[in-house]
Structures are given as C-alpha cells and as structure tokens.
Chain A
C-alpha cells in the first residue's frame, strides 16, 4: 500500500519534472537552432499604418502591409545566410506603446519596427534597441542628408535607418472655401498655402458664417482634438503660434510664458466661438480625419503620407472626392510653422545575436534596395536620388523643401518624449472643458512635463 503511494508520488513528481524539463529543452532547443547559421530564423516585423500599396496606394489590393510583405518575400528568396520567415504585422498607432511594453516586459519584443522616429526614440533611451551603425555605409551617408542622420542618432549611435520623412501641414477643402466665398484664400493645387494668423481667423469665421447648410450640413470650419496623444504634433504646433520656443537649451519645457498662454487662449477662443468641431476634449485625431474626409470639416491636419492615402481613397472611390489642398499652420509672425516626422526601421535587442544580425540585414535591405526605396515617395524621400527621380511626378516635394527653413524640432530631442505626450492631452481637455484657465494649463503642463523629462534622463542608457 505504502509502496503504491510512493509510486504515485514518484509519478506525480516525475510529471512535474518532465513538464519543467520540457520547458527547458524547448528553450535550449531554440537556442541551438539560432546558433546554427544554416537553420531557419523567424522575424517579427511590426509597423504602424503608413502608406498603402508596395509603391502606390492605387495598386490593386493595396494595404498598409503590402510594401513590407513584398519586401519580406524578396528578402526570404534572396537572403543566403539563413532560411528566413518574415511575419509582418500592422499595429494601430494608438496601441503601439501598450503592445511594445507588454512584449518588452514579457521578453518577446518584435525584431524590427517601422515607425516615426519621434515615437520610438524612448526605446533607444531605455536600451531596448540596438545601434545600426554597422549597416550604414558611405553611399547611404552621401545620399541622405545629415539632418536626417541627426534625427535618428541618439548619443553616438544611429538607431533608425531613415527611409522617408513626413512633413505635417494643414489640409483644406477648396470646394468648401469657394462655397463660403473664400476663393481669395485658396492656394494652387501644388502649393502649400501660407496664411497669416489674421487671414486664418477670417477664413474660420467666413466658413462658420457662410458655409451653405444645405450642401454641407453638420460641417465645421476646423478640426480640433484632444482625446489622446495621437496627432498631438499639431496641438504642439498651435501652442507655438505666438512664438513660444517650447524647449530651452537644456531640453526643459518653457511653454509657460506670455506667448504660450496667448496660444492656449487662442485655442480655447476658437473652440468656444464654435469655429471647430464640438467636443474636442473627447474627439480623437482619427475622428477628425474621418470628418474631414466626409466633408464635415473644411480644414484639418495632414501629413505627406496621410495626404497621399486620402488622395488614393478618393481616386479609388472609398471616400467622397473633393478638391483637397495643403496649407501651412499659420503663426502670428506670418512665418509658417512646419515640422516633419522622419520614419525608418529599428531593430530590437532580442538578446539573440542571430536574429539581431538577420534583422539588421532586413532593415538594410528595405532601406537600400534601389527598387524598394522608391516607396519613400509616398511620404517625402530622405534619399536625394529618389527625390530627384520623382520630382516631376511629385511637385509637392519642391513645396515641402521650401518649408525646410521653418521646420521646428517638436520633440526637442528630450528623453521621455513618449510619456511627455501623455501629459499634454489631459491639460488640453481641462482647457476645453473650462476646468483650467490657459495660464493654469501651460503652467501645469510645464511642471509635469519637466518632471517627466528629468526622470527619463535619470533612467536613460544614453545619458549614462
């Protein structure tokens, strides 16, 4: 009897041990595969929605993952060192940080992420990315101008391979302008129109007063949003409208001055006057974008890729067609306010040398292959060679270049930028709901923001 019980106990213990051994075996087995240069390597490539199609949104079946699936297919065929299987996954922009943090803390980061550099810089500070210096050669350095390399360099190392950049502007519905009798403010089809702030206010009021209700029912002059951190770059730009510099030389926020207060008051003023969509405090940038495409807004935010996607949607009949044109964000000084996102791929430190090596090779492949880099024309190419090749087909490239002198660095290159973004929108919500005055909002944003920057600096591997 007793023996039997021992036997049962032994079996139970054996079962537990074998389960544990199974886990260990799996782990060591995986490592064996990876150390063997001839064996299969699985890569996880993530991206947020960028452009549709391989090279163009008008291709049949064009989707956000088309380019990367095509690149992956070619890479799998052409890569010699390993048998590679690349899995491409599109991640919603507003879920990026959640997904990445869960995967980083669970020890399962993706191998490659293609995204705007500003949104991913923190991962370099946190030591989650590997430097890419070794895959950047002289030919790339010559073809891509230094300011883009500066954008992707943290400390001494390059962490993102620049692919395209994506200047942010306003988009407006020229047909709604005409309907409201605002023809004189309409710019050329290939122009990025610059209005003075006084003109802009005139436009907003003109749209509110004169937009025919029967043609554009339920429409508003301008889109404003503060539900979350998405699209906050435009909100940051509006806060600079009266000349606020935002960051000082030490990377500290200095938004709490007379210009910052004036800008916050201006935002609150146009909102209260009904010159924007209602409920900005609980409306997201996606909502605003959808409203603009449905002609419920005359002026909205856009960037080169969003613009090109919207045009493709209109061409394919997915969205109602109208005369969409571009304008700069106005400022009190009359100079346009301009910013750009540099986009590119980075490689996560998966602690697996083989996967890191193959990931780097994949990033180099998509960032240097002469055919693949042409897809950067969906935004604005960082490569001079590509920009020149498509300058005739894409007249906006010249217009974006003309804005270069006015480009401001909206991140200030500060560590903790991702968390800094989370501080802004609750303050804007407080502004729009009247819970705080403009003075209180900029003061609170500056205090909380500087605390975030200080803490992030203390934890940054790049500042160590």
Chain B
C-alpha cells in the first residue's frame, strides 16, 4: 500500500517534468522525427505530381547501379577524410603554437582565422569562382598576361577535388581554432609548470599534455566536421556544378539534383536515408568515446 503511494507520488512529480519538456518533445517530433520517417517512407515510392506508386526497394537498387551515385559516395568520403584531417591537424598546430602567448596576439589570430567563417559560403564560393573561372577569372587572366601555362583548376578532374577541399578547409578552419584555443587555455597551469620543471620540450608538452587534454574537443570537432562535410553543397553548386563529368559531385549534390532538378523525389529520399545512416554510424562510436567515463 505504502509502495503504491510512493509510485503514485513519483508519477505525479514526473508529470510536471514531462509537461515542461512536452513542447520541446512536440517540436522535436514534428520537425525532426517526422521528416526522418517521411523521408524513409518517400524512399520507397516513385512520386510524380499526381500520384505516388509504391516501388519497395527499387530506388535503392537504382542508386547502387548508378555510377554517378557511386562516384558521389567516393567523392564524399574523400572530402570527409581530407577536410576533417586537415582541419584537425592545422587547427591543432595553430592553436598549440599561440594559445599561451600574449592575449592580444591570441585574439588577433582568433579573429583572423574566424573572419572567413563569418562570411557566407555563398560569398566565398563566388570569390573563388571569380578567381578561378577559366574563361574570365583573375588567376587564369594573370597567367595568360604573363604568358604562363594556365591550368583549369575547376575543369581538371585531378585538381577539382583538391581545390574544393582547400576552399572548404580554408573557410571552416577558424571554427576549430577558436574551440582548440579555448580548450587549451582551460588546461590546468600546474601541468605546464610541472613539465617546465621536468625540462620537457615544446613537442613533448604538445604530445603528452595538450593533445590528451583537449581530446573531448578533438572528438567534438571531428564529429561536427564529418556531419558538415557530408552535407557539403554550396561550394559544389557554385564552383563546379558537380563537374567536370561528375568528378566533384557529392552525395548532397546528387540528392539535390534528383530532388530539385530531375524531380526524382523517391531517389533523392533514398540518398537522404543512406546519408542519415552513414552519419549515424559515424557518430555513434564517436559519441560513445566522448561519453565514456574514464
């Protein structure tokens, strides 16, 4: 009887809590869970303006037999690996070099690297397009004026991926630098003092103290960047249009083309589901490491 009463009381207490989170849960269900379920549903249909026909896994079969989809997946993996690796290594290098210097200097470095993050990716892509356009871009123009052999950075299948990797990396790295500097500033001073007393070199300090101490930040940067790079789109749309010959098409651009250019909503939803699964698979182990209690 007593136990029943306690449970009842506890339920009453919980109801208040649930009521408080209810609006958030409702928004979460409507704007996050429902679109995911609807995306999965749509991926099983062939859709045109007038009706929807159930086709089962046909859209997925079509995808895996489409060389452009395979190419986009490979390109996306290349982007993820290189952009994330470059971002982490470069941001770590810059932050470790400056975090313990004069505050004004640190602020300047932070500001300088953060400016491109504040500028819209659309604007950055347009500027790069103005620089690289083979017909009337600034760099090919100067090259021609100087009678130097001009290279089409956006039209060469071997160069287009490195160019996009560089543009995206250069635009986004500021975010990681800010996070690393903040994290490094937060490392207990005693550790550095102890290292100094022991006569440890700068490299030893970086590898034995800084890198292990900022591990949670590294994991966070890796997860966030993987998710961001998986969705890379604007720079592709504005700089290369996925070309030449689909050499720079990514999963997101492939999805966009199918959804909005070819009106293949079923196929586009199937790509969306695959991207969702990839992100989930990549994020789960990372999150488990992050939340694991040492």
CB-contact partner of B49 in A128, A287, A433, under 8 A = A128
* A278 in contact with B244 (CB, 8 Å): no
A281: Cβ under 8 A from any B Cβ: yes
B189: Cβ under 8 A from any A Cβ: no
Nearest CB of chain A from residue B131's CB, rounded to whole Å: 13
B257 surroundings in chain A (CB, below 8 A): 422
Mask of B1-44 contacts with A, CB within 8 angstroms, 1/0: 00000000000100110010011001000000000000000000
B259 surroundings in chain A (CB, below 8 A): 101
State A104–B265 Cα separation when bound (angstroms). Answer: 12
A227: Cβ under 8 A from any B Cβ: yes
Residue of A nearest to B240 (CB): A282
On whether A279 and B133 interact (CB within 8 A), knowing A16-B26, A102-B260, A126-B50, the answer reads yes
Nearest CB of chain B from residue A53's CB, rounded to whole Å: 28
CB-contact partner of A429 in B48, B136, B145, B244, under 8 A = B244
* A5 in contact with B12 (CB, 8 Å): yes
Nearest CB of chain A from residue B182's CB, rounded to whole Å: 39
On whether A101 and B263 interact (CB within 8 A), knowing A5-B12, A278-B135, A279-B155, the answer reads yes
State A76–B58 Cα separation when bound (angstroms). Answer: 49
CB-contact partner of B265 in A105, A296, A426, under 8 A = A105
Mask of A331-353 contacts with B, CB within 8 angstroms, 1/0: 00000000000000000010000
State A433–B155 Cα separation when bound (angstroms). Answer: 7
- Secondary structure of the A side of the interface? helix
* B141 in contact with A218 (CB, 8 Å): yes
Mask of B89-130 contacts with A, CB within 8 angstroms, 1/0: 000000000000000000000000000000000000000000
CB-contact partner of A426 in B134, B135, B246, under 8 A = B246
Nearest CB of chain A from residue B268's CB, rounded to whole Å: 10
State A144–B270 Cα separation when bound (angstroms). Answer: 46
B272: Cβ under 8 A from any A Cβ: no
* B49 in contact with A127 (CB, 8 Å): yes
Residue of B nearest to A105 (CB): B265
Nearest CB of chain B from residue A459's CB, rounded to whole Å: 5
Residue of B nearest to A278 (CB): B134
State A97–B262 Cα separation when bound (angstroms). Answer: 8
B183: Cβ under 8 A from any A Cβ: no
On whether A430 and B245 interact (CB within 8 A), knowing A97-B261, A278-B140, A279-B154, the answer reads yes
Nearest CB of chain B from residue A290's CB, rounded to whole Å: 7
State A290–B243 Cα separation when bound (angstroms). Answer: 21
Residue of B nearest to A430 (CB): B245
On whether A426 and B245 interact (CB within 8 A), knowing A279-B140, A419-B262, the answer reads yes
* B12 in contact with A1 (CB, 8 Å): yes
A9: Cβ under 8 A from any B Cβ: yes
On whether A291 and B152 interact (CB within 8 A), knowing A12-B19, A426-B246, A433-B157, the answer reads no
* A279 in contact with B152 (CB, 8 Å): yes
List which B131-152 residues lie within 8 A (CB) of chain A. Answer: 133-136, 140-141, 144-145, 150, 152
Residue total for B at the interface (Cβ-Cβ under 8 A): 42
B16 surroundings in chain A (CB, below 8 A): 5, 8
On whether A283 and B50 interact (CB within 8 A), knowing A101-B259, A422-B257, A430-B245, the answer reads no
B15 surroundings in chain A (CB, below 8 A): 5, 9
B193: Cβ under 8 A from any A Cβ: no
B26 surroundings in chain A (CB, below 8 A): 16
List which A1-27 residues lie within 8 A (CB) of chain B. Answer: 1-2, 5, 8-9, 12, 16
B152 surroundings in chain A (CB, below 8 A): 278-279, 281-282
List which A432-464 residues lie within 8 A (CB) of chain B. Answer: 432-433, 435-436, 459, 461
A5 surroundings in chain B (CB, below 8 A): 12, 15-16, 19
B156: Cβ under 8 A from any A Cβ: yes
A97 surroundings in chain B (CB, below 8 A): 260-261, 263
B256 surroundings in chain A (CB, below 8 A): 98
A8 surroundings in chain B (CB, below 8 A): 16, 19
* B22 in contact with A227 (CB, 8 Å): no
**11 A-B pairs with C-beta separation under 8 A:** A5-B19, A102-B260, A127-B48, A128-B49, A278-B134, A278-B140, A282-B240, A422-B257, A427-B245, A433-B245, A461-B50
State A441–B50 Cα separation when bound (angstroms). Answer: 35
B241: Cβ under 8 A from any A Cβ: yes
| A-to-B contact residues, CB < 8 Å | 1-2, 5, 8-9, 12, 16, 97-98, 101-102, 104-105, 123, 126-128, 217-218, 226-228, 277-283, 287-288, 290-291, 294, 296, 349, 418-419, 422, 425-427, 429-430, 432-433, 435-436, 459, 461
Given A218-B145, A296-B135, A419-B262, 5 more A-B residue pairs with CB atoms under 8 Å apart are: A218-B141, A279-B152, A281-B244, A282-B133, A432-B244
Among B46, B152, B155, B259, the most chain A Cβ lie within 10 Å of the Cβ of: B155
Residue of B nearest to A425 (CB): B243
* B245 in contact with A279 (CB, 8 Å): no
State A279–B152 Cα separation when bound (angstroms). Answer: 6
CB-contact partner of B155 in A12, A281, A436, A459, under 8 A = A281
Nearest CB of chain A from residue B281's CB, rounded to whole Å: 29
On whether A433 and B135 interact (CB within 8 A), knowing A98-B261, A279-B152, A422-B262, the answer reads no
Mask of B243-280 contacts with A, CB within 8 angstroms, 1/0: 11111000000001101111101000000000000000
Nearest CB of chain B from residue A435's CB, rounded to whole Å: 5
* B136 in contact with A290 (CB, 8 Å): yes
State A425–B245 Cα separation when bound (angstroms). Answer: 8
Among B135, B136, B241, B259, the most chain A Cβ lie within 10 Å of the Cβ of: B135
A426 surroundings in chain B (CB, below 8 A): 242-246
State A437–B17 Cα separation when bound (angstroms). Answer: 67
A278 surroundings in chain B (CB, below 8 A): 134-135, 140, 150, 152
State A461–B154 Cα separation when bound (angstroms). Answer: 40
Among B134, B259, B263, the most chain A Cβ lie within 10 Å of the Cβ of: B263
B246 surroundings in chain A (CB, below 8 A): 426
A430 surroundings in chain B (CB, below 8 A): 244-245
Nearest CB of chain A from residue B95's CB, rounded to whole Å: 36
State A218–B134 Cα separation when bound (angstroms). Answer: 12
On whether A283 and B134 interact (CB within 8 A), knowing A12-B19, A12-B22, A426-B246, the answer reads yes
Nearest CB of chain B from residue A293's CB, rounded to whole Å: 11
Among A277, A279, A435, the most chain B Cβ lie within 10 Å of the Cβ of: A279
B140 surroundings in chain A (CB, below 8 A): 278-279
Q: Which 8 A-B pairs rank lowest in CB-CB distance, beginning with the nearest? A: A279-B134, A430-B245, A429-B244, A282-B155, A98-B260, A281-B155, A282-B154, A279-B152
B141 surroundings in chain A (CB, below 8 A): 218
Residue of B nearest to A2 (CB): B12
